[in-house]
């Protein structure tokens, strides 16, 4: 394991990029997580096109379990937001990524890589709005527990 956190993040990013390429050249699909989950939710009854989505999601959950087994460390940090914000945030992330046709992976990692104007616009928008949200929560409304 790299001991410099910045290099470790760069290495993690390279793995994410390799994973996206594997899904593209292997299955012809964009590794956009909101789109992969959304496809399952859109058509819960039909099995075609759902198997690879479920396999990808299962792989992601397995990654967290494998990391915990091999390192003894928790795969995810604590979610510190209070419950009403967790629910509101989840609803907004779910609805918003589907309406905006992508999230950090689909627009940010895959879309920018192909110089898509839509993805570059979307990424700038959600980064800016997320930054403003954090600013308001942390520096304007203090004491909310976020």
Partner 1 sequence: MNIGIALLAGLLFGIGLVISGMTDPAVVLNFLDVAGAWDPRLAMVMGGALLVTTPGFYLARKSGKTLTGAALQIPTRSDIDAPLLVGSAMFGVGWGLVGLCPGPAVVALSGGATAALGFFASMAAGMAIFSIYRKMRPVG
Q: Counting contacts by CB under 8 A, is residue 128 touching partner 1?
A: yes
Min separation Cβ 46 and partner 1, Å: 13
Distances (CA, A) of 144 to 83, 139, 140: 11, 11, 10
CB 14 within 8 A of CB 22: no
**How many residues in the shown chain lie near partner 1 by CB under 8 A?**
110
CA triple 35-45-107, angle to 5 deg: 5
Nearer Cβ to partner 1, position 130 or 143? 130
Nearer Cβ to partner 1, position 51 or 143? 51
The Cα 110–Cα 116 span in angstroms is 9
Min separation Cβ 1 and partner 1, Å: 8
Give the 3-state secondary structure of residue 120. helix
Binding mask 61-80 vs partner 1 (x if CB under 8 A, - otherwise)? xxxxxxxx-----xxxxxxx
Min separation Cβ 72 and partner 1, Å: 13
Q: Which two tokens stand for residue 68?
A: 């915990």
The Cα 128–Cα 99 span in angstroms is 18
Site for partner 1 (CB under 8 A): which residue of 45, 47, 83, 141?
83
Min separation Cβ 143 and partner 1, Å: 15
Region 6-65 residues binding partner 1, contact defined as CB under 8 A: 6-31, 33-34, 37-38, 41-42, 49, 51-53, 55-65
Total H helices, total E strands in the chain: 6, 0
Site for partner 1 (CB under 8 A): which residue of 47, 98, 141, 143?
98
């Amino acid at each position: 394991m790299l001991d410099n956190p910045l290099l470790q993040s760069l290495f993690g990013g390279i793995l994410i990029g390799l994973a996206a390429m594997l899904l593209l050249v292997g299955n012809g699909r964009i590794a956009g997580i909101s789109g992969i989950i959304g496809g399952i939710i859109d058509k819960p009854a039909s099995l075609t096109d759902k198997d690879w989505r479920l396999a990808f999601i299962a792989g992601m959950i397995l990654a967290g379990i494998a990391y915990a087994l091999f390192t003894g460390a928790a795969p995810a940090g604590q979610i510190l937001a209070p419950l009403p914000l967790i629910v509101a945030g989840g609803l907004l992330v779910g609805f918003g990524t589907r309406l905006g046709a992508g999230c950090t992976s689909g627009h940010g990692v895959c879309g920018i890589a192909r110089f898509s104007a839509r993805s570059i616009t979307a990424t700038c928008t959600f980064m800016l709005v997320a930054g403003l949200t954090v600013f308001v929560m942390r520096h304007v409304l203090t004491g909310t527990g976020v």
